[in-house]
Amino acid sequence: MKKIKIILCILCLLIPFPAFALEVEIASSNMVLYNLNEDKIIAAKGEDEPVSIASMTKIMTTLVAIEHIQDMEEEVTLTGKVFEGLVEANASVAGFRWGQKVTYRDLVYGAFLPSGADATNALALFLAGGQEPFVKWMNEKAQSLGLKNTHFVNTSGLDCEGHYSTVKEVAIFLKEALKNEMFREVFETKTYVTHDGSMTFHSTLSSTLSRYHLEADYILGAKTGYTYDAGRCLASIAYDEAHDIYYLLVTARAPIQPSYYHVTDAIHIYEYYFQNYGYQKIFSKGEALLSLDTKDAKEDSVSITMPEDVSFYLKLDSSRDDFHVDYDGISVVTPQMKIGDTLGSLHITYQGEEIKTIPVVLEQKLTFSYSRYFKERPMLVLGICLGFLLLLFLLRLFFYFRKLKKNHKRLRFKRKKNI
């Protein structure tokens, strides 16, 4: 028996999954973890709370600077104004010197890798004329991204009233920044040598890992941060090679001492999800889910199948039994239906919670069957037969009376003639 094809309109074969509660004990009070394959939050804690974000600010500073630099190799000479207030603020610096000639590329890497406030001051001064107009660019960029709980007052991230964001919004502008090829290159760089070879910058994450003998090669890039109000902060991306999943993690307000808690938090979170979560194929291509009856068609039934493999991001020890598929729609398909008509929906639930609704539409028209049409309507057939018999009876009656009338006329004619 030839079966009619049904297409399941699945918007995404890697089905988005509900966010999970954080299952790892960490020192940071605020965090958000994204599965970048789906651009979806999978764990969070205090993600919408406005907090100081320290040098994670330099993610936005660096992005805005890159967007305004015309030539990365252009040289500028550092003036005394670049270094004003840095010592008093106890700001971290890259180590540039007064009178030094540097390229914009040197300043970008100096701002990001060693988290140099001297570099961010220089970028603001040479690109915008000072901190205030440059910070205005940063806030305009935040507004363009729809960030409601982010506001910048300086380019370095030093604690200041009115300078704040949330870990969720830091993740949002980091994701935006990573779309920029130059920014991503800077973000993923571990070591950089200035154009004249006089200085070498190491990323603050690499320095921390080395200092405390920690290993996290799967972290592709990161920006650390530290102030008294913000505590220890970290924004990073990592790659789970075993499951081919990219993650983005932002943490804030880890204790200041010991000075590696923000890094160990990231290690604990990443490794837990690497070991316990991944994509599992729950539905296979061609798998029959249910069969619908047909009416007035040559085909007896319509089989609804999965057109492709469907995977879910979930705990690796999850069972297929945790999933259930319910069909909500018409139970009988007829040839009168057109290609593209919606038949109903498949509701996929996981442990009692609906996680996906899949529309089911008709892809090919059914073939009309006269024999089945009448077979399925015996009363109609009986009515037609009776009607036909009645018609025959009436016709027979009509011709009988017509003949009788003719005979009557003929008899009258004969009598009249004999007279």
Hey, what amino acid is at 22?
L
Q: Is 318 known to be catalytic?
A: no
Catalytic residue among 55, 92, 156, 236: 55
Give per-residue burial for 186-201: e unless 16+ CB within 10 Å, then b. bbebeebebeeeebeb
Return the structure tokens found at 161. 């009233």
Q: Is residue 22 packed enough to be buried (19+ CB in 10 Å), middle (13-18) or exposed (0-12)?
A: middle
**CB–CB of 174/224 below 8 Å?**
no
Q: Is 281 known to be catalytic?
A: no
Which of 50, 253, 49, 58 shows the shortest CA–CA distance to 154? 58
How far is Cα 2 from Cα 4, in angstroms, rounded to an integer?
A: 7
How far is Cα 203 from Cα 366, in angstroms, rounded to an integer?
A: 65
Q: Is 55 known to be catalytic?
A: yes
Q: Where are the beta strands (DSSP E) in 255-300?
A: 277-283, 288-294
**CB–CB of 385/377 below 8 Å?**
no
Rg from Cα positions in the chain: 38
How far is Cα 254 from Cα 226, in angstroms, rounded to an integer?
A: 9
The DSSP bridge partners found for residue 325 are 348
The DSSP bridge partners found for residue 45 are 31
Q: Which of helix, strand or coil describes residue 280?
A: strand
What region, left, alpha or beta, does residue 238 occupy, with left being phi > 0 and alpha being psi -120 to 50 degrees?
beta
Strands 288-294 and 301-305: antiparallel
Catalytic residue among 52, 58, 168, 356: 58
Hey, what amino acid is at 270?
Y
The DSSP bridge partners found for residue 323 are 350
Catalytic residue among 28, 92, 115, 156: 115
How far is Cα 369 from Cα 387, in angstroms, rounded to an integer?
A: 23
List, by residue number, the catalytic residues. 55, 58, 115
